[in-house]
Amino acid sequence: MNNPWEDISLSDYENHMSLDSVKQLQAMNIIMKKQFVAYPVDTAMVLGIAGGNGLEHVSKDKYKTVYGVDINADYLKAVEARYGALEGVLECIKADIINECDKLPEAQLVIANLLVEYIGYEAFMMAMMRVRPQYISCVIQINIDEHQWVSDSPYLHAFDRLDEVHCQMEDEALTKAMKETGYQKILSESYPLPNGKALLRLDFELEK
């Protein structure tokens, strides 16, 4: 059976994420602007890039290469169409991170927003050992109700199969897994959302 993310249309995903009752697309854009400028790097990798939200904050003066990785080929086609201005910098890679992390090149910064929830700690650590970035910036969703982790919306049923792959994330568990892989936490920032949820940005640096 294919991964549920391969069957979710980009329009359903983005329309849901941008609703006033959800506002995750808007919050993620603000966060990604900070992520792209935070560290002295010139290569970055965005895991689970979807439609490319936040790529407008990539400076061609700063970055030589930004890799956009996703399991959904249609998402990557949309990214390439939307961000032609990043030609020569942006490289899209179709990959199932759980089973195809060998497709991932090296990068100095990895941005993984709302991704670890869908691949699990172990697969994420394996991918990081492959890419071996100096910095990792993650966003995880904090939920009050673990049984209703997708906000109610007209697009809710587009996400019905995500229960097959979703795992509830916890700050301490992710930090522990990162520590075991050689990374120390250097930043923790919370961004409140509607419905009592929050986005938690956690940044890590490779220990010297």
| 35/72 Cα distance (integer angstroms) | 23
Give pLDDT, residue 147.
46
Collapsed DSSP state (helix, strand, coil) of residue 110:
strand
| 117/115 Cα distance (integer angstroms) | 5
For residue 174, the domain's CATH number is 3.40.50.150
Mean pLDDT, residues 175-191: 96
Give pLDDT, residue 149.
41
Which domain does 23 fall in, by range?
4-206
Considering only CA atoms, which of 122, 129, 134, 139 is closest in space to residue 47? 139
Predicted confidence band of residue 34 (pLDDT cuts 50, 70, 90)? very high
Give pLDDT, residue 183.
98
Domain count, the chain: 1
Give pLDDT, residue 159.
65
Output the CA angle 60-62-67, nearest 5 degrees.
Answer: 70
Instruction: Tell me how crowded residue 21 is: count the other CB atoms within 10 A of its CB.
Output: 11
Mean pLDDT, residues 56-65: 98
Give pLDDT, residue 33.
98
- Rounded to 5 degrees, φ, ψ at 190 are -110, 140
- Is the pLDDT reported for residue 60 higher than 60? yes
Mean pLDDT, residues 5-23: 83
The string of DSSP codes covering 23-73 is -HHHHHHHHHHHHHHSSS-SEEEEES-TT-TTGGG--TTT-SEEEEEES-H
| 59/77 Cα distance (integer angstroms) | 21
Collapsed DSSP state (helix, strand, coil) of residue 106:
coil
Question: In terms of pTM, does the model score above 0.75?
Answer: yes
Residue 201 C-alpha from the chain's centroid: 11
Query: Taking a C-beta distance cutoff of 8 angstroms, is the pair 28, 139 a contact?
Result: yes
| 208/89 Cα distance (integer angstroms) | 29
> For residue 163, what is the DSSP state?
G
- Is the pLDDT reported for residue 154 higher than 60? no
